[in-house]
């Protein structure tokens, strides 16, 4: 009997060769390499990859050349134009065919964020989407600590002055950062989204800096999770903002800004903001206003509203640390993405249960 097919998107496996060999024992692996959207759609139409049962994207640098996984890719090209205005599920359940074979049950991908894939549309086609947040949790939490420290300690200013190799600037930083830098110790860290990454950040900030942890989330975490970091839950975002010396955005992008112009006035005067989630979670113009007016004292951003473009006003501010969306970018994350993606597929087909599904609420038939 022929083996079930996996469609691998993008990169070759680089680290987990033994596990890959195990996957290849059980599945036939077809490759799309780096097809652009038109090529990829045409290949799906022609059924070049066969009736694959799973899609596997081992690393985030490649395998995304076809662009966002929207209704057009998941359902069928002609549906997309009417998608916005129509009864979406009605369309799906009508007789429209899919670009993806009905055999496909699971899509496992590198990366924590899944704003580039319509997991609801996948769910409506009975395809489980599994992200890999667990694989980059450590890296992103470490990156958040870097940003947090830089906002408390004015390190961005100090680093720029040293790098200028100008003695006057060096002395300026030496003499003046001390009058505004603060220790995180004893300050309150407000985390928006106490998921895997938010929790790991809380552990590090609590243990290393003795920060008090408060959080806001769509639902309260179990008592043992809160107890592990002495966290206090705030169902009201603004109430949490009013008490936080530093706010970290660590929640998936859910189609709307979690911090908009109305929220900044609720922040504690002089507070700091760190964003390691998605640029679109924060209203960048409102952030610029809050920094310019002095309402908040500093910001640390790994992610940006219009990547790969960075807001020019923010780029000029010495109290704003900027990274190029790299808090998760480590070899360790890459190893973990590969591993978790393959383990998700193996476990799903072995015991019917994936490890890190994010769209089970949208799966319509029982699996
Ligand atoms: O931003 C990085 C990720 O989504 O993993």
Can you give the residue ranges of every domain in the chain? 5-131+331-362, 137-322
Ligand 1: atom nearest CA of 278 is 1
Query: What is the rounded distance in angstroms from the CA atom of residue 344 to the CA atom of residue 110?
Result: 12
In this structure, how many other beta carbons lie within 10 angstroms of the beta carbon of residue 89? 13
The average confidence (pLDDT) of the chain is 93
Ligand 1 centroid distance, CA of 131 (Å): 9
In this structure, how many other beta carbons lie within 10 angstroms of the beta carbon of residue 36? 10
Query: What is the rounded distance in angstroms from the CA atom of residue 146 to the CA atom of residue 338?
Result: 26
Q: What is the pLDDT of residue 20?
A: 98
When the candidates are 3.40.50.2000, 3.40.50.1220, 3.10.20.600, 3.40.50.720, the CATH number that belongs to 5-131+331-362 is 3.40.50.720
Q: Say which residues have a Cβ less than 8 Å from residue 212's Cβ, sequence separation at least 6.
A: 186, 187, 188, 189, 206, 230
Query: What is the rounded distance in angstroms from the CA atom of residue 220 to the CA atom of residue 207?
Result: 22
Ligand 1 centroid distance, CA of 311 (Å): 20
241: which 2 tokens? 């903002």
Q: How confident is the model at residue 98 (pLDDT cuts 50, 70, 90)?
A: confident
Q: How confident is the model at residue 68 (pLDDT cuts 50, 70, 90)?
A: very high
Ligand 1 centroid distance, CA of 236 (Å): 26
Kindly report the protein residue whose alpha carbon is nearest to atom 5 of ligand 1.
Answer: 111
The interface predicted TM-score of the complex, written ipTM, equals 0.95
Report whether pLDDT(82) > 90.
no
pLDDT in tens, 244-296: 999 999 999 989 999 999 999 999 999 999 999 999 999 999 999 999 999 99
Ligand 1: atom nearest CA of 303 is 1
- Alpha-carbon dihedral sign for residues 154, 204, 264, 268: negative
Report whether pLDDT(128) > 90.
yes
Report whether pLDDT(71) > 80.
yes
pTM confidence score: 0.92
Q: How confident is the model at residue 365 (pLDDT cuts 50, 70, 90)?
A: low
Report whether pLDDT(203) > 50.
yes
Q: What is the pLDDT of residue 75?
A: 81
CATH number belonging to domain 137-322: 3.40.50.720
Q: Is the CB of 111 under 6 A from ligand 1?
A: yes
Topology agreement, domain 5-131+331-362 and domain 137-322: yes
**Residues belonging to the active site:** 278, 307, 325
With pLDDT > 70 as the criterion, what percentage of the chain qualifies? 93
């Amino acid at each position: 009997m022929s083996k079930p097919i996996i469609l691998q998107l993008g990169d070759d496996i680089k680290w987990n060769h033994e596990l890959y060999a195990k996957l290849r024992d059980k599945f036939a692996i077809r490759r799309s390499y780096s097809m652009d959207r038109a090529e990829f759609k045409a290949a799906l139409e022609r059924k070049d990859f066969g009736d694959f049962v799973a899609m596997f994207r081992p690393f985030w640098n490649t395998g995304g050349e076809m662009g966002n996984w929207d209704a057009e890719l998941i359902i069928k090209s002609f549906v997309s134009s009417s998608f916005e205005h129509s009864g979406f599920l009605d369309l799906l359940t009508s007789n429209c065919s899919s670009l993806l074979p009905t055999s496909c049950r699971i899509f496992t991908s590198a990366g924590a964020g899944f704003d580039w894939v319509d997991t609801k549309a996948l769910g409506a086609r009975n395809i489980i989407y599994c992200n890999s947040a667990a694989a980059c949790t450590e890296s992103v939490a470490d990156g958040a600590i870097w940003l947090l420290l830089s906002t408390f300690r004015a390190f961005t200013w100090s680093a720029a002055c040293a790098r200028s190799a100008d003695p006057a600037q060096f002395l300026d930083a030496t003499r003046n950062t001390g009058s505004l830098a603060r220790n995180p110790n004893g300050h309150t860290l407000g985390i928006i989204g106490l998921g895997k990454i938010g929790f790991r950040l809380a552990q590090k900030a609590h243990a290393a800096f003795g920060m008090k942890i408060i959080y806001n989330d769509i639902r309260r975490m179990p008592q043992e999770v809160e107890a592990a970091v002495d966290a206090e839950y705030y169902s009201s975002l603004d109430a949490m903002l009013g008490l936080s010396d530093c706010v970290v955005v660590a929640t998936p992008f859910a189609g709307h800004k979690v911090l908009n112009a109305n929220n900044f006035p609720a922040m504690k005067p002089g507070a700091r903001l760190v964003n390691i989630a998605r640029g679109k979670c924060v209203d960048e113009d409102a952030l610029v206003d809050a920094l310019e007016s002095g309402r908040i004292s500093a910001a640390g951003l790994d992610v940006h509203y219009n990547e790969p473009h960075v807001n020019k006003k923010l780029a000029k501010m010495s109290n704003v640390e900027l990274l190029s969306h790299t808090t998760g970018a480590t070899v360790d994350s890459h190893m973990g993405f590969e591993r978790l993606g393959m383990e998700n597929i193996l476990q799903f087909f072995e015991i019917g249960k994936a490890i890190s599904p994010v769209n089970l609420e949208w799966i319509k038939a029982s699996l």
